[in-house]
Structures are given as structure tokens and as C-alpha cells.
Structure 1
Amino acid sequence: MRNFITNEWLTIFTVFGFTSIVIAKYLNTLRFNDFIAVIGNSKYLKIYSKDQKFIDPFDGFLFINLALSASIFLYFGYSSFISDIPFDITAFLKTLFAFSTLIIIKTLLERLIGSLFEIDSLIDHYLFQKTTFKNYSGILLLIANSFILYTTGFTKIIILITLSLICLINIIGFIISFKNYRKIINPNFFYFLLYLCALEIAPYVLLYKAISEYNV
């Protein structure tokens, strides 16, 4: 059983996640409703990708939930499949900072590479799609965390189902985005392929290699 302190901290951060989503909906209710219906409906991607901003409050609050929910989910995953460790607020805040920093730096680097290859428009559309489905995954993580936090005996099942759904959501998102922007991608396919290899595939290969060598 998780102790009271652990539940208290995790409940606080979960409430912060819910609050950030509520604020995002308050800022733009119509956009939020379109966002929730993005799976299987390309309306959101087509409409709102045209009005992208470098700093978007709507996406910003959804990102806050994503960072909090992903960090909590990582704690649950580590405790369930690797080592059952007590919740530590310092370690959690470090995880939260590392996750947030990684996503922000990666996004900025992707924009820089888009400028270097002179495919800014293509990368902007692609990043908007990725941001949309990452934030959508954040809502799914929030729901999963809530179930894990207040139920017992189903943690591993919930984690595996959630990971499967997130993978499916992001695959669907990539397919939708590719279909929507294929006219932009086709003339720049070579540069887009280089981008995918450099910033979408290589980092995960290197991360897997690092983890494998560490475990050895």
C-alpha cells in the first residue's frame, strides 16, 4: 500500500494537471472541443495549424499537464516494473524538470534544423501535429494516473494499456498529418527523411544503446 504522504503529493500534482486542462478549456472552449475530437478528425489540425504562435498559452497549459502526468506515470512505471521505491519529491521534481527541458530543447532544435534546411513551413506543420498528439497523450496519462492512484491491483495492466493507446494515438496522428501535408512533404521528402532520422529515430536508438550498456 502506498503511504499517505505519497498519495498526498501525487494527488496535488494530479490536481495541478487537471487545473491546467481546465484553464486551457477556459481560454478557448471551441478549440478545446475540437482538440478532444482530433482522433479520426483532421479539422483541428487543418484549422489551428494556420494560426501557430511561438508561445501559445493554450498549448502551454496542456504541456504543463503533459509534463506533470508523464512524470507521475514514469514513477508508477518504474515502481511497478523495475523497483518498488517510495515517492521522493526531490527525485520527482528532477524528473519533471528533465522531461520538460528535453521536450523544449528538442522542439527548439527541430525549428532550427527546419530553418537550416529551409523547410520551415513543413516543420512547423509537423511540430504542430506532434505537439497536438503529445498533449492529447497527456490527457490520457492523467486519466491513467488517476485510476492507478485510487485503485489497487491493476497498475501494470493500466500502464500497459495506456502505453499501447499512446503508441496507437501517435501513429494515427502521424498518418493523419502525412495525409494532410503530403503536398508539402513530397517536394521536400529527402530533407524530411533526414529530419526524421536525425531527430526522431537516432535519439531513441542512442537512448536504447545507453540503457543496454548501463545494464550490462
Structure 2
Amino acid sequence: MLRYIEHNELLTILLAAGLIFIALAKLAAPARFLDFMNILIKPKYLKIYSKDQKFVDFFDALLFANLIVCTTVFGYIIYKYAFGVQMVHPDVLIKISVSVGTFIIAKVLLERLIGSLFEMDNLIDTYLFQKISYKNFLGLILLPLNAFFLYTLDISSTLIYSILVLLLLINLTGLFSSLKTHQSLIKNHLFYFILYLCALEIAPYLVLYKVFVS
């Protein structure tokens, strides 16, 4: 039995916007989109398109826009469930989207800066491309999940934690893929890699966790 559907016109618009971003990405590069959809099972996408990446890529930009939209909606769902509120002010959605977008972009720019300082531009660019690709894939996963959460499924802590674990596993898959690609280089610079991992891959998320639970 379907649950009661609340009036979520703004959220419906956001989900539609995410769907439009994905459709535009598919129309802009059909073959690339097909390869992107198989990113979890085939390394073809990462091998081919990492060699021809640009600082601002239209295809990635569209998928990134969908990621921001879907993360915003998912953040709204978690916020609403965690605080037990029926309706959330639109300002909260704006704050979530701006925070997520700013966090990801600032982190990428910082990593590019570090790559330039240590003269590892090519390595960092390839690594960031792989990592961003997997994050954009999370946006594709979140779109239908958000729709189910909003209009069909009853929200529960077990379901939310299950989705978070799934998203974490996909994100870790991207990280391990990058480690496998650059394993010889990492072995030669293990100390710097561990330092990087703690400073830019673990610390920012610990800070975010402290902010949200405090």
C-alpha cells in the first residue's frame, strides 16, 4: 500500500531538474554516457576519458549538477527524518545545496593546488577524474532512491543507514580503483600518500560529522 504523499512541489521540481541534467548528458555524449553507466563493472570509461579531460567538462558538469540536486534532496530527507519535522523551509534546501557544492568544489581545487605545488598535475588530474566520476555515479543512484523515499517508501533508520552504506561502498570502490591504478607510485611515496589520505580524504568528513552532530 502506498503511503500518504505530501505536497513536495519543490522537491519534485528538483528531481525533474536532476533527470533533465542526466538526459542532457546522455544527449551530449551517448557513447560516453553508456560507458559511464558501466563504470562499476568495466574500467573502460576511466581509461578512455581520463586521457582527454578538461578543467571544465560539459558532460561532467551536467552529472555534477545532478549530484548536487540529488544530494540536496537526500539531505532534506535525512534532515526531516532526524529532526521529526513535517515540512522543511526552502532555505534549508538552499543551504544544503550550497554547502555540498562548495565543499566538493573547494576540495577539488585544493587537491589541484597541492598537485601543482608538488609537480604532480597529471597524477592528481587522473585521480580526481576517477574520484569525481564515481561521485557523479552516486547522483544517478540517488535519483530513483529519492523518488522512492518521497513518494512510496516509509522512511526508517534501517533503510537510511542501508542507503548510506551502499553509497559509501560505491565511493570506496572509486578510491580502490584509483589505488590500483597508481599502486606502484603509492608504494614509492607511501608516507606522503598516508598524509594526503588523512588530510584530504578523512579529516574533512570528520569535520562535517562534528558540525552536524554538535
For the criterion TM > 0.5, the same-fold answer is yes
Moved more, 91-100 or 20-29: 91-100
What is the aligned partner in structure 2 of residue 78 from structure 1? Answer: 79
| Counterparts in 2 of 1:151 and 1:173: CA distance versus 1, 3 Å | same
What is the aligned partner in structure 2 of residue 46 from structure 1? Answer: 47
User: Which amino acid in 2 is paired with 1:200?
Assistant: E
What is the aligned partner in structure 2 of residue 62 from structure 1? Answer: 63
What is the aligned partner in structure 1 of residue 105 from structure 2? Answer: 104
Gaps of 5+ in 2: none
Deviation at 1:119, TM superposition (A): 1.6
Moved more, 11-20 or 166-175: 166-175
Matched pairs, number: 211
What is the aligned partner in structure 2 of residue 36 from structure 1? Answer: 37
Counterpart contact for 1:23–1:61, Cα < 8 Å: yes
Moved more, 29-38 or 165-174: 165-174
What is the aligned partner in structure 2 of residue 205 from structure 1? Answer: 206
Gaps of 5+ in 1: none
Deviation at 1:66, TM superposition (A): 0.3
For 1:25 and 1:62, locate their aligned partners in 2 and report how far apart those are by CA, in whole Å. Answer: 10
What is the aligned partner in structure 1 of residue 11 from structure 2? Answer: 10
Deviations along 1:16-46, whole A, 9 cap, x unmatched?
Answer: 0000000011111111100100102111111
For 1:56 and 1:3, locate their aligned partners in 2 and report how far apart those are by CA, in whole Å. Answer: 37
Counterpart contact for 1:122–1:185, Cα < 8 Å: no
For 1:181 and 1:205, locate their aligned partners in 2 and report how far apart those are by CA, in whole Å. Answer: 26
Counterpart contact for 1:140–1:162, Cα < 8 Å: no
Alignment of 1:142-157 (within 5 A): 142-154=143-155, 156-157=157-158
What is the aligned partner in structure 2 of residue 174 from structure 1? Answer: 175
What is the aligned partner in structure 1 of residue 125 from structure 2? Answer: 124
What is the aligned partner in structure 2 of residue 192 from structure 1? Answer: 193
RMSD: 1.8
Deviation at 1:197, TM superposition (A): 1.5
Could you say which structure has the higher helix fraction?
1
User: Which amino acid in 1 is paired with 2:54?
Assistant: K
Deviation at 1:68, TM superposition (A): 0.5
User: Which amino acid in 2 is paired with 1:143?
Assistant: P
For 1:68 and 1:58, locate their aligned partners in 2 and report how far apart those are by CA, in whole Å. Answer: 16
Deviations along 1:65-111, whole A, 9 cap, x unmatched?
Answer: 00010010011011113332413212211221121111111111110
Moved more, 41-50 or 180-189: 180-189
What is the aligned partner in structure 2 of residue 159 from structure 1? Answer: 160
Counterpart contact for 1:69–1:138, Cα < 8 Å: yes
Deviation at 1:154, TM superposition (A): 4.3
For 1:88 and 1:209, locate their aligned partners in 2 and report how far apart those are by CA, in whole Å. Answer: 23
For 2:76 and 2:27, locate their aligned partners in 1 and report how far apart those are by CA, in whole Å. Answer: 30
| Counterparts in 2 of 1:193 and 1:103: CA distance versus 1, 3 Å | same
What is the aligned partner in structure 1 of residue 23 from structure 2? Answer: 22
For 2:132 and 2:139, locate their aligned partners in 1 and report how far apart those are by CA, in whole Å. Answer: 10
Identity %: 46
TM-score by length of 2: 0.90
For 1:55 and 1:25, locate their aligned partners in 2 and report how far apart those are by CA, in whole Å. Answer: 17
Deviation at 1:156, TM superposition (A): 4.3
For 1:158 and 1:139, locate their aligned partners in 2 and report how far apart those are by CA, in whole Å. Answer: 18
Deviations along 1:145-180, whole A, 9 cap, x unmatched?
Answer: 011121142454543332121111112222222212
TM-score by length of 1: 0.90
User: Which amino acid in 1 is paired with 2:110?
Assistant: L
